[in-house]
Structure 1
Amino acid sequence: MGLQGIKAIFFDLDNTLVDTAAAGRRAIEEVINVLQSEHHCDEEEARMICDKVQAKLLKECHDPSKMCITDLRIQHWEEAIQETKGGIANHHLAAECYFLWKTTRLQHLTLAEETRRMLSDLRKVVRLLLLTNGDTQTQREKIEACACQPYFDAIVVGGEQKEEKPASSIFHHCCELLGVQPEDCVMVGDSLDTDIQGGLNAGLKATIWINKAVTAPKGTFPLPHYIISSVLDLPGLLQNRKDTSLEINKVAGICSV
């Protein structure tokens, strides 16, 4: 497969192996429907509540020693409902919205059959590791929901470590788990700030950025070694090398930076 010189591939989870964004959108639409049908919100109010929650999630800073992720996220919904509708805080409604959102999102987090086949094929020749940032409870629930555990030699969740991506320490920890050196490893992910920067920080052999547009926007930083439009393009990228090493910015048939 042209994988000589590569001993391990690290994969991100969210929006790399599973479409978390799409699952999240379906979950939000379910909450909007319930707010309208059961809680006397008009569509504008329901969407405003959900928009506020999503904004809070994007800015979320979670310290598990102070509050569990469930309480924090119910608080997001409670604040969003009160900010939109006024009046006293409605903890019961907030909890209902949160658990509906969470349950629906997990139901729609699936590891596609073609992705399963790809991982199975790759694992015959290299070691595979799942490396995901985030709260332990949240990420472990996602991992269980998409049933991806059997496809990896190891799974590392950032919330369980001293540092998350892009810190080099978590990547070096992954290398130690697999008994490989950074220069033997490749990082595949959708985030420039965490996956690509982290792989560069740790001195991995190559970083592969998943970007649906395939071409990099002007001024892209950090600069990944390769760009593919889908994780399913990874085997083709590896197979198309004329030599046995991944060489920066030279991919046959695939636009790179």
Structure 2
Amino acid sequence: MALQGTKAVFFDLDNTLIDTAGAGRRAIEEVINVLQSKHHCDEREACMICDKFQAKLLKECYDPSEMCITDLRIQHWEEAIQEVKGGTVNRNLAAECYFLWKTTRLQHLTLSEETRRMLIDLRKVFKLLLLTNGESQTQREKIEACACQPYFDAIVVGGEHQEEKPASSIFHHCCELLGVQPEDCVMVGDSLDTDIQGGLNAGLKATIWVNKATVTQKPTSPVPHYIISSVLDLPGLLSNKGATTLEINKVAGNCNM
């Protein structure tokens, strides 16, 4: 099998090992409830404010030399509230929304017991590295919240380096940290544009796409070597159990961030 000889496994964090999207939804629900119960917003206004915040978050362009991430995200809430409610900027309400959203999201970022056991077992055989894109403070807070540090030989946060995924440089940096070559490593992640494209750019042994929602690949998308529906399917793939199904997925993907 093509994965024989693998020495190291690189994991993405968000929506691969932890359900960041689900935690975010719970955080937004909490903010909507507080805006309605405490600040006299109707449901429509509260939902619109949160929708606008999330849209700003998706388009976020962060320059640490200009302001800290906390101030930037409070600013997102300020703008969202003003765009919906009008009037003067309400810094206090924006800060309340931000810290409630942040705290609630972090509370719901957990490694499942099954994921913990999988990482413990894999680490008996492979070197494990966590490679996550994003602003340093935000990603380090997530890492601390889900308490995943003990399960990895190294942790690399893209925002602390000159380039993030999918740049090959950060993958090669990861290889150097573990003392392995790119052809010894596989990348596991949920993003075709960053995880899979980055692994391909860096010349890794294989890329493994965690496609939880059974998303259909676009013709222009990078093609992963393997597709699994859950990160918990990884041990079976690495040990060649269930390889037939996964190899079929690989071939189908080849027909076609």
Work out whether residues 131 and 157 of structure 1, in 8 Å CA contact, stay in contact via their aligned partners in 2. yes
What residue number does 1:169 align with? 169
What residue number does 1:148 align with? 148
Task: Please give the alpha-carbon distance, in whole angstroms, between the structure 1 residues aligned to 2:5 and 2:66.
Answer: 45
Displacement, 1:80? 0.1
Are residue 136 (structure 1) and residue 128 (structure 2) matched? no
Task: Please give the alpha-carbon distance, in whole angstroms, between the structure 1 residues aligned to 2:48 and 2:215.
Answer: 34
Task: Please give the alpha-carbon distance, in whole angstroms, between the structure 1 residues aligned to 2:3 and 2:187.
Answer: 14
Within a 5 Å distance, the mapping from 1:1-257 to structure 2 comes to 4-214=4-214, 216-219=216-219, 221-240=221-240, 251-254=243-246, 255-256=249-250, 257=253
CA spacing shift, 1:209–1:33, aligned 2, 3 Å: same
Task: Please give the alpha-carbon distance, in whole angstroms, between the structure 2 residues aligned to 1:252 and 1:215.
Answer: 21
Displacement, 1:8? 0.3
Question: Given the two structures, how large is their TM-score scaled by the length of structure 2?
Answer: 0.94
CA RMSD after TM alignment: 1.6
Task: Please give the alpha-carbon distance, in whole angstroms, between the structure 2 residues aligned to 1:213 and 1:226.
Answer: 15
CA spacing shift, 1:215–1:47, aligned 2, 3 Å: closer
Displacement, 1:236? 1.1
Displacement, 1:4? 4.1
Runs of 4+ off more than 6 Å: none
Work out whether residues 237 and 252 of structure 1, in 8 Å CA contact, stay in contact via their aligned partners in 2. no
Unaligned 5+ segments in structure 1 are 243-250
Tell me the secondary structure at the aligned position of residue 188 of structure 1: strand
- Show CA shifts across 1:182-229 (max 9, x none): 000000000011000000000000000111244743525101101101
Task: Please give the alpha-carbon distance, in whole angstroms, between the structure 2 residues aligned to 1:29 and 1:199.
Answer: 35
- Show CA shifts across 1:73-93 (max 9, x none): 000000000000000000000
Unaligned 5+ segments in structure 2 are none
Work out whether residues 11 and 128 of structure 1, in 8 Å CA contact, stay in contact via their aligned partners in 2. yes
Task: Please give the alpha-carbon distance, in whole angstroms, between the structure 2 residues aligned to 1:216 and 1:93.
Answer: 40
Tell me the secondary structure at the aligned position of residue 227 of structure 2: strand
Q: Percent identity?
A: 83
Task: Please give the alpha-carbon distance, in whole angstroms, between the structure 1 residues aligned to 2:41 and 2:133.
Answer: 35
Task: Please give the alpha-carbon distance, in whole angstroms, between the structure 1 residues aligned to 2:3 and 2:59.
Answer: 39
Work out whether residues 3 and 206 of structure 2, in 8 Å CA contact, stay in contact via their aligned partners in 1. no
Tell me the secondary structure at the aligned position of residue 188 of structure 2: strand
Match of 1:122, as an amino acid? L
Deviates more, 1:214-223 or 1:43-52: 214-223
Task: Please give the alpha-carbon distance, in whole angstroms, between the structure 1 residues aligned to 2:182 and 2:216.
Answer: 25
Work out whether residues 168 and 199 of structure 1, in 8 Å CA contact, stay in contact via their aligned partners in 2. yes
Work out whether residues 171 and 198 of structure 1, in 8 Å CA contact, stay in contact via their aligned partners in 2. yes
Displacement, 1:253? 2.1
Match of 2:102, as an amino acid? K
Task: Please give the alpha-carbon distance, in whole angstroms, between the structure 2 residues aligned to 1:146 and 1:178.
Answer: 23
Aligned residue pairs, count: 249
Tell me the secondary structure at the aligned position of residue 21 of structure 1: helix
Work out whether residues 215 and 227 of structure 1, in 8 Å CA contact, stay in contact via their aligned partners in 2. no
Work out whether residues 35 and 41 of structure 2, in 8 Å CA contact, stay in contact via their aligned partners in 1. yes
